A and B are shown apart, each in its own frame.
Chain A
Amino acid sequence: MAKKVLLIEDEPNIIEAISFILSRDGWQVDTHSNGHDAADVVRKKGPDVLILDVMLPGRSGYDILRDLRSGGGTETLPILMLTARGQGKDREMAEKYGANRFMTKPFANSEVLEAVRNLVGV
């Protein structure tokens, strides 16, 4: 059975690109583009890997990350964070709140694929 990836991202083109890359590699990709209910969606869907954008409408990616790490069965969920801000302190924030990987946009497709595979130990 295919592993499930949940992508939380608000830019439609980026959603399309990442979905395409992961689907081709055999992942089952779910997407969500709003920050408000992102944490609930994650817990409901129970993905194997989560790709989380930082700048989301409604709620910041860091907030969601903290929420997920605080309980509800998502404490150890492998999470890859993406950000377009690309400043040193964003990486620090991500590590501090418990992200497993952190990547700055724009990224190489192969990098994202590699990172997702590594996170689930494939």
Chain B
Amino acid sequence: MGALNALIAVCLSYVALLFLVAFFAERSAMRGRGGWLRSPIVYTLSLSIYCTAWTFYGAVGYAARSGLEYLTIYIGPSLVMVGWWWILRKLVRIGRSQRITSVADLISSRFGKSNLLAVCVTILAVISATPYIALQLQSVTLSFAVFAEAGGGGQSLYTGESTALWVAMGLSLFTVVFGTRNLDANERHHGVVMAIAVEAVVKLFALLAVGAFVVWGISGGVSETLSRIDASQLGQWQVNGGRWAGLIMLSAAAFLCLPRMFQVLVVENDDEGHLRTASWAFPLYVMLMSLFVVPIAVMGLDLLPEGSNPDLFVLTVPLSQGQQGLAMLSFLGGFSSATSMVIVAAIALSTMVSNHIVMPIFLRVTGGGASVSGDVRHVVLLSRRVSITGVVMLGYIYYRLTGGGEALASIGLVSFAGVAQVLPAMLGGIFWRGATRLGALAGLSVGFVIWLYALFLPSFGPGFILSEAALLNGPFGIDWLQPQALFGIAGLDPLVHALLWSMMLNSVAFFTVSVMTFPSPLERLQGAQFVNVFQHSGGPRSWSGGVAQSEDLMIMAQRILGAAEARALFQREATRQGVRGDLPEPSPDFLESLERELSGSVGGATAHAMVGQIVGGMSVSVEDLMAVADETAQMMEYSNRLEAQSREVTRTARQLREANSKLTRLSVQKDAFLSQISHELRTPMTSIRAFSEILRDSDGLSGDELNKYASIIHDEALRLTRLLDDLLDLSVLENGQVNLNLRHGQLGDLLDRSVAAAAASDDGRALRLTRDAATEALSLHTDLDRLSQVFINLIANARKYCDADQPTLDIRVTDHGDLLWVDFVDNGSGISTDAQDVIFEKFARIGEPRVGGAGLGLAISRQIMQRLGGEITYLRGESGAAFRVSLPRPAMAAQ
């Protein structure tokens, strides 16, 4: 009892130590001082969970039963580490860039985020892992039992069942505490990793200690040991080539596909560069682990009584030599192996179960959408914790049900073969863009069914689901369906047989269905992301760059936020972190706040992608791309709107400028006009005033003088009146307020009246007119008075300004059908070319100023003709002054 009590005390202390290690590691990681946690050695040691209790105890048993074959399970992973490091690197890069949380997530993400695939892989993984977890519990229980027996009498509280239950509960607790601190599965579990690294050291040290004791303590040296080995039955074991190759392949596949290996290899990886160290350090580690396996096995077979369990030689050999301390150490080594495997497997499996089975069901039951419940985070954590406990308990239940009768190694190999079914889909997914979801589904299903049927179920022995008859003769007597001789191929080792068929048909189904089906767009994109992950995620860069990263972040932030604001943000953070200088550590908190800050400027998705690009060497997921595209589209639209607005503003400005210059022009015109009016009004007023003063003040004026001066006053008063009439007329015409009085009339009559009216005026000289009455015989429908006003003005102008000796005015009428021309051409010297341009302007009076008229006549005529729908123009090319009045058809009477 004493030994057992001591054992329990040591065990509990050891567990307490692990808790402490995990706790401190977690705490320093939280404080951002986890640099030492990210060492490649820690990474390599964490990979040692590959060496479980099966390896620790079972390898010796395996050697005792099957000779050197145990080496295959070490050679496989070593080959992967050394020869396939590029596959690992690709897996790690993909895992990092796609935020992969598990094997199931990897397969599902690659094949268009198919949850069905994820569920399949999860179920496969749980089924394969459950016996394996049971195996660990069994090994701990067995080793306890050994101590209990050695302590005298096995009838204690510590029966096998209760030991297993206690261990299962303890492991669940540890895993829940350290495995579900963070929600994001991609957040590394520094505490757990550190604890298993410590355990890796303990189990290696323990095994080496036992081995050294055996070789040098019992056997008496290396040469003696070698001769003992030669003498033993182990030396005679024949190497089965097929089985060796199969096992090496199997362990290599399992190394890649086991959920717990994926967890430490990919998910917990901090730096791709660690793989370089691990590629030599891990093979070295397993080599050391396997170094003393044969000596211990040989010695056990030699020393211990016939029928002793070779799986426990590591423990029983030292005990048989009275080495309690060494046995205790050995026990701790085995304990470490078992616990580290269970812990990591539970984390990995619970992530898969929770993410792909529990959460989808929960979300569907609660009506979908994370928005439904505000506390989904809480639900996720709870579901993870329940899943962890569930997985461990499933192992315990399996252990209870099977009674732990199987040899350790064979359970392990069955498990391996199960998870290896993921391999075709995994490798195909990361190297072949043509792989499709349906192909992966087909391959997985075929492989899984064959494994289940040909290996897993038979491993329980006859009577468990498969009857003995079915095992021997095939179900329902169908011969070629014999589980261990499928398609009539018998005589193979059952493991190799199942492996061969399952992997072959799995691969064939995967390939064939992939070729026959077409990937969805999402699959295509994801496929490109996975297969070309190195192109997408940029060159290899360290993920723990520290200051270098901060500098990149700073440069990027400056571009987006502006130099001053970015600097302020970084300095604030540096001060908060207590770092000297203005470049803070890129801690998760800081990155998050930086991302928030940036997303204000460039949108959330873009900010995430940009920060990710720098910090993670992370490539952008499809959703990220879509979101970025959305944001870009929005920004484009916004910028298009801005551009349109800017064009609008430019146009308005141009219009304003034009309007302004027009106003300026108008203002100048107005000034000139006012000045002209002033002149035209003041001139007659001057005469009127001067002569009225003369009449008033001067004595002795003759009667002639009186008459003359009174006439001048009278004429000038009339001139003023005419001017005012013209101005008012023009104003009315220009403002369009004129009412046309449309009437029917003859053009000839109208010209007659106009000639008469023009002749009635006193101004000007006698004017001879030439007309053609025949052409004037046209009826009109227009405002006859206004048209007459135009004619009168033209005739009067000829009277006033024609400078010929015998002034003659030729009036010609031309009928163009849709247009009527009335030309007025005199025989004077005409109007100069310069003046022709301005004669229709107001006050553009030309020629002899002595004759009356204020220079408004032609301006008024032009306005009238516009109102009548026609025009008045100066006719070039005539010798004298020549004007043309054009009238459109509507102004002429219907024929």
Contact digits for B706-717, partner A, Cβ 8 Å, 1 yes 0 no: 000000100010
Q: How far is the CA of A13 from the CA of B850 in the complex (A)?
A: 10
Contact A105 B691 (CB under 8 A): no
The distance in angstroms between the C-alpha atoms of A22 and B712, with both chains bound, is 19
CA distance A21 to B681 in the complex (A): 22
Is A85 in contact with B687, judged by CB distance below 8 angstroms?
Answer: no
Give the chain A neighbours of B686 by CB distance below 8 A: 11, 14, 17, 84, 105-107
Residues of B with C-beta under 8 A to A86: 678, 682
Mask, B659-680, CB within 8 Å of A = 1, is: 0000000000000000100111
A57 closest partner in B (C-beta): B849
Q: Binary interface profile of B, 676-714, with partner A (CB < 8 Å = 1, else 0)?
A: 001111110111111101100110000000000000100
Residues of A within 8 A of B850 (CB): 10, 12
**Interchain CA distance A109-B683 in the complex, whole Å:** 15
Indicate if the CB atoms of A16 and B712 lie closer than 8 Å.
yes
Give the shortest distance, in Å, between B244 (CB) and chain A (any CB).
Answer: 118
Residues of A within 8 A of B690 (CB): 13-14, 17-18, 21, 106-107, 109
Q: State the CA gap A13–B852 with chains docked (Å).
A: 12
Please give me the residue from chain A that is nearest to B685 by CB atom: A106
Are B678 and A11 in contact, with the CB atoms below 8 A?
Answer: no
The complex places the Cα of A115 from the Cα of B452 at a distance, in Å, of 134
B684 CB → nearest A CB, Å: 8
A95 CB to closest chain B CB (Å) equals: 18
Contact B698 A106 (CB under 8 A): no
Tell me which residues across on chain A come within 8 A of B687, comparing CB atoms. 11, 13-14, 17
Task: List the B side residues contacting A119 at CB < 8 Å.
Answer: none
Q: How far is the CA of A107 from the CA of B679 in the complex (A)?
A: 14
Contact with B along A79-109 (1 / 0, CB 8 A): 0000011110000000000000000111111
Q: Are B682 and A106 in contact (CB under 8 A)?
A: yes
Determine the distance from Cα of A104 to Cα of B688 in the docked complex, in whole angstroms.
Answer: 15
Complex contact A11–B693 (CB within 8 A): no
Is A55 an interface residue when CB atoms closer than 8 A count as contact? yes
Q: Nearest chain-B residue to A54 (Cβ)?
A: B679
* Nearest-neighbor residue (CB-CB) of A17 within chain B: B690
Q: Give the residue name and chain of the B residue nearest to A105 (CB).
A: B686
* Chain A residues within an 8 Å CB radius of B680: 84
Closest to B850 in A: A12
Q: Which residues of A contact B681 (CB under 8 A)?
A: 84
Count class of interface residues, chain B: 20 to 34
- In the assembled complex, how far is the CB of residue B877 from the closest CB belonging to chain A, in whole angstroms? 27
Given the known inter-chain contacts A13-B687, A16-B712, A17-B690, please indicate yes or no for A109 contacting B682, CB distance below 8 A.
no
- B682 near A87 with CB under 8 A, answer no
Interchain CB contact (< 8 A) of A87 among B675, B689, B849: B675
- Within 8 Å by CB of B679, from A85, A108, A109, lies A85
Q: Chain A residue with minimal CB distance to B701?
A: A20
Q: By CB atoms of chain B within 10 A, which of A17, A55, A104, A107 has the most?
A: A17
Whether A44 sits at the interface, judged by CB under 8 Å, is: no
Q: With A57-B849, A84-B683, A105-B685 in contact, do A13 and B691 touch (Cβ < 8 Å)?
A: yes
* Contact among A16, A107, A109 for B697, CB-based, below 8 A: A109
Residue of A10, A105, A107 most packed against chain B (CB within 10 A): A105
Mask, A26-49, CB within 8 Å of B = 1, is 000000000000000000000000
A21 neighbours in B (Cβ, 8 Å) = 690, 694
Across the two chains, which residue of chain B brings its CB closest to A84? B682
Docked CA distance A13–B716 (Å) = 9
Given contacts A16-B712, A85-B675, A87-B678, A105 and B683 within 8 Å (CB-CB): yes
B residues in contact with A108, CB < 8 Å: 689, 693
Supposing A10-B849, A24-B698 touch, asked if A85 and B678 sit within 8 A by C-beta, the answer is: yes
CB distance from B581 to the nearest CB of A (A): 72
List residues of chain B with CB within 8 A of the CB of A10: 849-850
Nearest chain-B residue to A112 (Cβ)? B690
Given A20-B694, A84-B683, is A106 in contact with B675 using a C-beta cutoff of 8 Å? no
**B678 is contacted by which of A13, A14, A18, A84 (Cβ under 8 Å)?**
A84
Bound form: Cα–Cα A107–B694 in Å: 12
Q: Which residue of A is nearest B697, CB measured?
A: A109
- With both chains docked as a complex, state the minimum distance between the C-beta of B291 and any C-beta of chain A, in angstroms: 117
Query: Nearest A residue to B693 by beta-carbon distance?
Result: A109
Write the B839-861 contact mask toward A (1 if CB under 8 angstroms, else 0). 00000000001100000000000
Bound together, the chains give a CA A109 to CA B693 distance in angstroms of 7
Cα separation A120 to B747 with both chains bound (whole Å): 63
A18 to B849, CA, bound (A): 19
User: In the assembled complex, which residues on chain A have CB atoms less than 8 Å from the CB atom of B685?
Assistant: 105-106
Q: In the assembly, what is the distance between CA of A12 and CA of B691, in Å? A: 13
Roughly how many angstroms separate A11 CA and B675 CA in the complex, as a whole number? 17
Q: In angstroms, how far is the closest chain A Cβ from the Cβ of B550?
A: 73
Chain A residues with CB below 8 A from B849, complex form: 10-11, 57
A14 touches B693 (CB 8 A): no
> A57-B849, A86-B678 are contacts. A11–B694 as well, Cβ < 8 Å?
no
Give A12's nearest chain B residue, CB to CB: B850
Chain A nearest CB, measured from B755 CB (Å): 28
Among A11, A24, A110, the residue within 8 A (CB) of B683 is A11
How far, in Å, is B713 (CB) from chain A's closest CB? Answer: 9
Known: A24-B698, A106-B688. A13 touches B679 (CB 8 A): no
Q: What distance in Å separates the Cβ of B518 from its nearest Cβ neighbour in chain A?
A: 88
What is the minimal beta-carbon distance from A36 to any residue of chain B, in angstroms?
Answer: 13
Closest Cβ neighbor of A109 among chain B residues = B693
Smallest CB separation, A40 vs chain B (Å): 20
Q: Within the assembled complex, what's the spacing in Å between the Cα atoms of A104 and B678?
A: 11
Q: Which residue of A12, A24, A106 has the most chain B CB atoms within 10 A of its CB atom?
A: A106
Most chain-B Cβ atoms within 10 A of its Cβ — which of A12, A16, A18? A16
B694 adjacent to A109 (CB under 8 Å) = yes
Q: Which residues does chain B contribute within 8 Å of A11, judged by CB atoms?
A: 683, 686-687, 849
Sample 13 A-B pairs with CB under 8 A, ordered by A number. A10-B849, A11-B683, A11-B849, A14-B687, A14-B690, A18-B690, A85-B678, A87-B675, A106-B682, A106-B686, A106-B688, A108-B693, A110-B693
18 more A-B contacts (CB under 8 A) besides A18-B690, A87-B675, A105-B685? A10-B850, A12-B850, A13-B690, A14-B690, A17-B686, A20-B698, A55-B679, A84-B680, A84-B681, A84-B682, A84-B683, A86-B682, A87-B678, A104-B682, A105-B682, A106-B690, A109-B693, A109-B697
Nearest first, the 6 closest Cβ-Cβ pairs linking A and B are A17-B690, A84-B682, A13-B687, A106-B686, A105-B686, A106-B689
